[in-house]
């Protein structure tokens, strides 16, 4: 089942772009368009999580937050452009779960959403990915094929994780480096090449030849 | 009080007395009194005058010196009428009224300026609040439509965002009231978010980054530190050389935690180094690069001073290390301050 997210944001561009971003990441998204009865829309959509702006026409985000809290414990992320301490304190006092200031880093926003949803609904995070007989174990940081195992470094694991998650699709070098940066691993293009060579060596050692294919001028794919 | 000037001011009285004396002497002589009587009268008269003027001089001097001292001790000199005694002499009373008037107009002016500044600050805060909406919208638009061209725009957007933040923190640093919130923060998180704030800028310039081994918690305001780190990162990119490298690391030293940002850029010359935190100072590097304003580091220093963070720069020909030093033990005073 898809997780539902409600966007309460009065700027139209941000609203639509957030919709694109979140639905692209596998969420079911709805946005409030009529701010006179936000609460009814929350009640009818029953989202798993709310992205809430503070400055809104009509009731402020703080009011909406405290109203939601009267009937639900759903995670609420305050997304605002004012980064004063008062607003941040208020948002915590009223039961907001996170406070993110604009302009936000989308990777951080997505990570926060995923983390809050996991915590609130006790979702299991997939620890194991399988593709063409090879299994990637996140917890033990290793890859397994035909009973043979290879240990992976942090960088190698993250690269393979990204490729497994997007298995079948072409991942550009830029996408991979972006993902690594968002995971706080600051790797440049050269280091990516080094890591790819090392990963291929390890894969070959456990009998996975040509597991990662290079699409010339485009990137990599599993 | 100047004695000569005092005498000069009393000249009419003195002349009047002398004329009186002369008239009396003439009158006595005309009436056939001996010279000795005239002499006696003159001597007694003179003695009385001298006594009168010396007492007058010294009492006035004492009184006025006290007033002068009082004024010197006051920090806001224009408030003198509030603390001085209301004078009883007719002329002093007029001066007192003049002082009162001056004080009142001064206070009105100060109030006006303060109000204007407060309104301006509020306007700046609000403006920044508003400009962040289109920046956010643009950033989302760009990130949803990735392309090499868009990546360059994203790097520019990061610059725009940093400049708006600079205006915000400038407005905040000008204000005496406290705009920060001290709490325990993990330095690692702040460093990573500062890097994330400049992700596209750093990637576009192929900056190699190491930020391992940052495991310290300090008591400070994370937003301010993040802003300071952003300025330092942008400087490192601005004054980069080929193959730029940026290294973040912490060191524990007695009761301090030192967070250093080390780059391999063009460095700061020895003669410029002591002045880099001055407002408007751009130095040799700044003259080479047009976009130097001399505001970034000045602002960092001001914010650090407010938060009680030490800020030092070290450079030896090539490369620069900027170090923030956080006290570990004085966070309690930090909270109260």
Taking the Cβ of residue A57 and every Cβ of chain B, the question of whether any pair is shorter than 8 Å is answered with: no
How close A85 comes to chain B (CA, Å)?
A: 7
Final residue in a domain of this structure, among A121, A156, A175: A121
Determine, for residues B208 and A188 on separate chains, whether the beta-carbon distance falls below 8 Å: yes
Final residue in a domain of this structure, among A121, A155, A176: A121
Taking the Cβ of residue A215 and every Cβ of chain B, the question of whether any pair is shorter than 8 Å is answered with: no
Nearest Cβ partner of B129 from A82, A106, A177? Answer: A82
Check whether B330 has a pLDDT greater than 70. no
Q: What is the CATH number of the domain that holds A64?
A: 3.40.50.2300
pLDDT at residue B337, as a whole number: 44
Same domain, A158 and A203: yes
Determine, for residues A186 and B161 on separate chains, whether the beta-carbon distance falls below 8 Å: no
With beta carbons under 8 A apart, name residues in chain A contacting B136. 11, 14, 81, 102-104
For domain B183-336, the question of CATH label 3.40.50.300 is answered with no
How close B290 comes to chain A (CA, Å)?
A: 27
Size of interface A-B (CB pairs under 8 A): 83
pLDDT at residue A14, as a whole number: 93
Q: Supply B76's token pair.
A: 């806001």
Determine, for residues B199 and A105 on separate chains, whether the beta-carbon distance falls below 8 Å: yes
Same domain, A85 and A134: no
Q: Secondary structure of chain B: what % helix, strand, coil (to 5)?
A: 65, 15, 25
| Position B336 confidence tier, pLDDT thresholds 50, 70, 90 | very low
Full-model pTM: 0.82
Taking the Cβ of residue B162 and every Cβ of chain A, the question of whether any pair is shorter than 8 Å is answered with: no
Quick: pLDDT tens for B167-202.
989 888 877 667 788 888 999 999 999 999 999 999
Same domain, A8 and A49: yes
Determine, for residues B140 and A83 on separate chains, whether the beta-carbon distance falls below 8 Å: no
Same domain, A69 and A23: yes
Same domain, A165 and A66: no
Nearest residue on chain B to A84, judged by CA atoms?
Answer: B179
Same domain, A143 and A203: yes
Residues 58-87 of A with CB under 8 A from B: 81-85
With beta carbons under 8 A apart, name residues in chain B contacting A82. 125, 129
**B122-148 as b/e: b if 16+ CB within 10 A:** eebbeebbebbbebbbbbbbbbbeeee
Coil, strand or helix at A84 = coil
Query: Which of A17, A108, A173, A191 should one mutate to test binding to chain B, selecting the residue with the greatest count of B CBs within 10 A?
Result: A17
| Position B51 confidence tier, pLDDT thresholds 50, 70, 90 | very high
With beta carbons under 8 A apart, name residues in chain A contacting B180. 85
Quick: pLDDT tens for A59-87.
889 999 999 999 999 999 999 887 777 88
How close A145 comes to chain B (CA, Å)?
A: 32
Same domain, A41 and A70: yes
CA angle B137-A86-A111, nearest 5°? 45
Per domain, the residue ranges of chain B are 3-105, 183-336
How close B92 comes to chain A (CA, Å)?
A: 52
Check whether B232 has a pLDDT greater than 90. yes
What is the C-alpha to C-alpha distance for residues B221 and B98, in angstroms, rounded to an integer? 48
Determine, for residues A17 and B144 on separate chains, whether the beta-carbon distance falls below 8 Å: yes
Taking the Cβ of residue A217 and every Cβ of chain B, the question of whether any pair is shorter than 8 Å is answered with: no
What is the C-alpha to C-alpha distance for residues B252 and B216, in angstroms, rounded to an integer? 9
Same domain, A68 and A88: yes
What is the C-alpha to C-alpha distance for residues B105 and A181, in angstroms, rounded to an integer? 59
Coil, strand or helix at B202 = helix
Q: What is the CATH number of the domain that holds A153?
A: 1.10.10.10
Determine, for residues A103 and B132 on separate chains, whether the beta-carbon distance falls below 8 Å: yes
Same domain, A65 and A175: no
Taking the Cβ of residue A104 and every Cβ of chain B, the question of whether any pair is shorter than 8 Å is answered with: yes
Question: Residue A184: left if φ>0, alpha if ψ -120 to 50, beta else—which one?
Answer: left
| Beta-bridge partner residues of A221 | A213
Q: How many domains does chain A have?
A: 2
Quickly tell me which residue has 């010359």 as its tokens: B269
Query: In the structure, how many helices (H) and strands (E) does chain A have?
Result: 8, 11
Check whether B14 has a pLDDT greater than 70. yes
pLDDT at residue A5, as a whole number: 95
Quick: pLDDT tens for B117-173.
889 888 988 899 889 999 999 999 998 988 889 999 999 999 999 999 999 898 888
Check whether B288 has a pLDDT greater than 70. yes
Final residue in a domain of this structure, among A121, A144, A163: A121
Nearest Cβ partner of B133 from A102, A106, A108? Answer: A102
* Structural domain for A79, as ranges: 3-121
Q: What is the mean pLDDT of residues B31-57?
A: 91
pLDDT at residue A217, as a whole number: 78
Same domain, A170 and A210: yes
Quick: pLDDT tens for A90-114.
888 898 999 988 888 888 899 899 9
Quick: pLDDT tens for A133-157.
888 988 888 898 888 888 999 899 9
Q: Could you tell me the strand order of the sheet in which B245-253 lies?
A: B208-210, B245-253, B256-263, B318-327, B310-316
Taking the Cβ of residue B133 and every Cβ of chain A, the question of whether any pair is shorter than 8 Å is answered with: yes
Check whether B230 has a pLDDT greater than 90. yes
Is residue A184 within 8 A of residue A174, CB to CB? The reply is: no
| Beta-bridge partner residues of B262 | B247, B321
Q: What is the mean pLDDT of chain B?
A: 89
Cis peptide before A96 (omega within 30 of 0): no
Quick: pLDDT tens for A155-211.
999 999 999 888 888 888 888 998 999 888 998 888 899 999 999 999 888 888 888
């Amino acid at each position: 089942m898809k997780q539902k997210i409600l966007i309460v944001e009065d700027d139209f561009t941000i609203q639509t772009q957030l919709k694109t971003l979140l639905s692209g990441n596998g969420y079911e998204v709805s946005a409030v368009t009529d701010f006179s009865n936000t609460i009814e829309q929350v009640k009818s959509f029953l989202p798993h999580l709310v992205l809430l702006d503070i400055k809104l026409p009509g009731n402020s985000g703080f009011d909406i937050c405290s109203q939601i809290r009267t009937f639900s414990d759903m995670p609420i992320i305050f997304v605002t452009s004012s980064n004063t301490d008062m607003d941040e304190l208020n948002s915590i006092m009223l039961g907001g779960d996170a406070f993110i200031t604009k302009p936000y880093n989308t990777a951080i926003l997505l990570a926060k959403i995923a983390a809050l949803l996991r915590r609130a609904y006790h979702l299991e995070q997939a620890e194991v990915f399988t593709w063409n007989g090879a299994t990637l174990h996140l917890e033990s940081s290793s890859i397994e094929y035909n009973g043979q195992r290879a240990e992976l470094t942090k960088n190698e694991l993250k690269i393979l994780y990204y490729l497994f998650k997007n298995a079948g699709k072409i991942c550009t070098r830029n996408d991979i480096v972006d993902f690594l940066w968002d995971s706080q691993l600051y790797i440049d293009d050269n280091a990516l090449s080094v890591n790819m060579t090392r990963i291929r060596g390890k894969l070959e050692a456990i009998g996975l030849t040509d597991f990662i294919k290079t699409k010339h001028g485009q990137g990599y794919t599993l | 009080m100047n004695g000569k000037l005092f005498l000069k001011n009393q000249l009419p009285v003195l002349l009047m007395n002398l004329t009186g004396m002369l008239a009396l002497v003439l009158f006595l002589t005309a009436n056939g009194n001996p010279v000795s009587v005239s002499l006696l009268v003159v001597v007694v008269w003179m003695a009385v005058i001298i006594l009168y003027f010396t007492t007058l001089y010294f009492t006035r001097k004492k009184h006025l010196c006290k007033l002068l001292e009082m004024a010197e001790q006051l920090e806001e000199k224009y408030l003198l009428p509030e603390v001085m005694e209301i004078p009883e002499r007719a002329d002093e009373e007029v001066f007192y009224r003049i002082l009162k008037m001056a004080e009142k107009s001064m206070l009105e002016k100060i109030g006006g300026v303060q109000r204007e500044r407060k309104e301006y600050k509020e306007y700046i805060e609000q403006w920044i609040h508003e400009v962040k909406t289109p920046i956010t919208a643009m950033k989302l638009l760009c990130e949803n439509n990735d392309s090499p061209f868009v990546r360059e725009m994203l790097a520019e957007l990061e610059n725009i965002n940093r400049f708006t933040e600079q205006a915000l923190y400038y407005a905040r640093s000008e204000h005496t009231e406290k705009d920060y919130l001290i709490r325990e923060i993990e330095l690692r998180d702040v460093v990573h978010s500062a890097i994330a704030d400049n992700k596209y800028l750093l990637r576009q310039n192929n900056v190699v980054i190491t930020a391992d081994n940052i495991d310290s918690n300090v008591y400070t305001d994370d937003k301010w530190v993040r802003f300071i780190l952003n300025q330092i990162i942008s400087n490192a990119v601005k004054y980069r050389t080929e193959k730029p490298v940026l290294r973040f690391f912490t060191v524990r030293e007695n009761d301090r935690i030192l967070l250093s940002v080390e780059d391999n850029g063009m460095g700061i010359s020895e003669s410029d180094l002591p002045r880099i935190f001055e407002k408007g100072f751009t130095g040799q590097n700044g003259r080479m690069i047009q976009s130097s304003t001399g505001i970034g580091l000045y602002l960092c220093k001001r914010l650090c001073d407010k938060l009680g963070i030490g800020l030092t720069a070290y450079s030896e020909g090539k490369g620069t290390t900027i170090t923030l030093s956080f006290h570990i033990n004085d966070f309690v005073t930090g909270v109260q301050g």
